Structure 1
Amino acid sequence: MGHLTIKDLARKLGISASTVSRALHDHPDISDATKRLVLDSAKEHSYHPNPIAQSLQRKRSNTIGVIVPEIRHNFFATVVSGIEEVMYEAGYIIMVCQSNESLDREVVNTKALAANRVAGLLLAISLETVNSKHLKDVIRLGIPLVQFDRVVEDLDTSKVVIDDFNAAYKATVHLIETGYKRIGFLSAKEGIALNCLRFDGYLQALNDHDVQYYPELFVKIGGCREEDGRKGAESYLKMANQPDAILAINDPVAVGAFCRFREAKMRIPQDIALVGFSGSPESALIDPALTTISQPAFEMGKAAAELLLKQLESNDDNFSPEIITLDTKLLIRGSSKSEAN
């Protein structure tokens, strides 16, 4: 037999469907005897409430929408695992969409999730997201929204981020202290808060240690994938005066640059040192292994999910957003440690 409905249960008991429904929801108008009868019958016939029907009544589902730039990126896949662990325990299921670094796709995803009456939304913005109208619409609809990792800073929502400024500062200081003098920065998109904070940390470290900043070594590649890193490395290879070290916006970009430099017969780290960002598993697989900023991705997912749950349970119109900043660790490996330095 298919899914047993409230009407089926009512027919078996010879009472109205509305009485069955109210009994199942412990309505005060229904006698204890009728409630017991309905609950026993529901148990006997393995009746389970239909979540879709319930969500239509409540105007909200038990589904949480999650939008990430890319699922193939190990960092975001791990964040999603952290989210899923917390939400599953709390009785929610998650629906994951990827924007593929496209604002248009992010807008479509956001509208689709809102139309599906998600209970809440967790989001890391795409590299193209400089306009947040679609997110303001979500907030206006009363759907709780929590941002993580890549965020629209001036949007009044709870956020879970890392201290991007300090992480980039630490990484740059490490390169300076190892003896590198011409340090480049492989940048994604300038408008993204995370990109700006990492660049500011890099710049501050150069200034604090009296190391010259060379504007031509700030290379914009526009994306966050391996092929973008290869493109960036290509730009450096064409320069008459090349950098001796590079801080990349993330690990895939650093790995892409690494591969291109290797093809050009450059020795790493003797000819050029590389530092990535995110602590992805592949950063440990190349040889020499990549120095990187390890980000607590799983913890970030858990923290974002917990903030959303807190908001869902608050029922308070005066809910005030929280910002959680997680610590990072600099993992120093072979791509920036040279015996020559």
Structure 2
Amino acid sequence: MVTITDIATALGITPSTVSRALAGNPRVKEDTRRAVEAKAREMGYEPNVVASNLRKGQSSIVGIVVPRIHREFFSNVIGGAENVLNQAGYNVLICQTLESAEAEVKALRTLKNYRVAGVLLSHAINSLSGNHVREILGTTPLVQFDRVFPDLPGAKIVGANCEGAFQATMHLISEGYRRIGTIAGYMSSQAYVERLAGYRLALESAGIPYDPSIV
């Protein structure tokens, strides 16, 4: 593996000069910078991104953590986010938790170690609180989406879960149905809590008693 020291030796200059030239430091003369870049290409040099991130304390990588990559919703989010981030000069590092809180903790620690510029996160279904996120990420910018913990700082992107469930239930009521069940999901997820609330609100507004046996 070619290193900065190898390039410096080949050109007869110091490793620090090579490092500054590759980083685009304006203190390096133009002819020196071009010579360094040419020699780096010739020797097949590839920068150590992790080491660079550690030196700078941050990177041009944004982490995306989702429960399951193969689900259409999450794959669409990843595709859209990657497109926007690439245009802004960022790359993405994708982690999936497979609905495991332990895997979520591991993913967040990995991203923190990479000094990512920020994290987009949709929580695993059995993550019961956001305490681990706060402890691991610290001041790293965070955007939660779909499955969120309201008490965590940062932006939150969620669907109209309560309104959607309300309208869906009201539609069935308008069609004459009175015994309407629902698949509520895990109450550890704010999204499912809101959907159940919308369902119950529709029943209440129509004067239909809530029956937990069909939930």
The reply to whether TM is greater than 0.5 is yes
Are 2:30 and 1:36 equivalent residues in the alignment?
yes
Does the CA contact (< 8 Å) of 1:182 and 1:212 recur in 2?
no
CA–CA distance in 2 between the matches of 1:185 and 1:26?
A: 59
Please tell me whether the aligned partners of residues 99 and 105 of structure 1 are also in contact (alpha carbons under 8 angstroms). yes
Pairing 1:134–2:144 present: no
The amino acid across from 2:204 in the alignment is: N
| Counterpart in the other structure of 2:140 | 143
Task: Indicate yes or no: 2:74 matched with 1:76.
Answer: yes
* CA shift for structure 1 position 113: 2.1
| 1:153 Cα offset (Å) | 1.2
Q: Is 1:179–2:176 an aligned residue pair?
A: yes
- Counterpart Cα distance in 2 of 1:103 and 1:44: 47
Tell me the CA shift for residue 24 of structure 1: 4.1
Q: 2:134 and 2:148 mapped to 1: Cα distance? A: 13
For the 8 Å contact 1:60–1:118, the answer to whether it is kept is: yes
Residue of structure 1 in register with 2:202 after alignment: 205
AA at the equivalent of 2:6: D
1:95 & 1:25 partners in 2: Cα distance?
A: 22
Q: 1:123 aligns with which of 121, 131, 146?
A: 121
Residues in 1 aligned to 2:48 and 2:110: alpha-carbon distance in whole angstroms = 21
Q: Tell me if the contact between 1:51 and 1:62 (Cα under 8 Å) persists in the aligned partners.
A: no
Structure 2 match to 1:97: 95
What's the counterpart of residue 59 of structure 1?
57
Could you tell me how far 1:26 is from its partner in structure 2?
Answer: 4.9
Contact kept in structure 2, 1:26 and 1:35, CA below 8 Å: no
Match for 2:17 among 16, 19, 24?
19
Structure with more contact order per residue of length (Cα contacts < 8 Å, sep ≥ 6): 1
> Secondary structure at 1:183's aligned position in 2?
coil
- The code of the aligned residue for 2:126 comes to E
Work out whether residues 53 and 114 of structure 2, in 8 Å CA contact, stay in contact via their aligned partners in 1. Answer: no
What is the match of residue 6 of structure 2? 8
Unaligned runs of 5+ in 2: none
**TM-score, with length taken from structure 2:** 0.87
What does residue range 152-231 of structure 1 map to in structure 2 within 5 Å?
152-218=149-215
How far is the alpha carbon of 1:9 from its aligned partner? 3.2
Q: Deviations over 1:225-263 (max 9, x none)?
A: xxxxxxxxxxxxxxxxxxxxxxxxxxxxxxxxxxxxxxx
**1:62 to partner: Cα distance:** 2.6
Superimposed CA distance per residue, residues 117-144 of structure 1 (whole angstroms, 9 cap, x where no aligned partner): 222211101111112221011342x221
The TM-score, its normalising length taken from structure 1, stands at: 0.57
Question: Which consecutive unaligned segments of at least 5 residues does structure 1 have?
Answer: 219-341
Task: Answer whether contact 1:10 1:17 (CA < 8 A) is retained.
Answer: yes
d(CA) in 2 for partners of 1:27 and 1:62?
18
SS in 1 for 2:196: helix
Kept after mapping to 1: 8 A contact 2:50/2:114: no
Deviation of the 1:198 alpha carbon: 0.5
Superposed displacement of residue 210, structure 1: 2.3
Percentage of pairs with the same residue: 37
Aligned residues: 211
C-alpha RMSD of the superposition: 2.1
CA contact (8 A) 1:24 1:35 kept: no
Partners of 2:142 and 2:153 within 8 A in 1: no
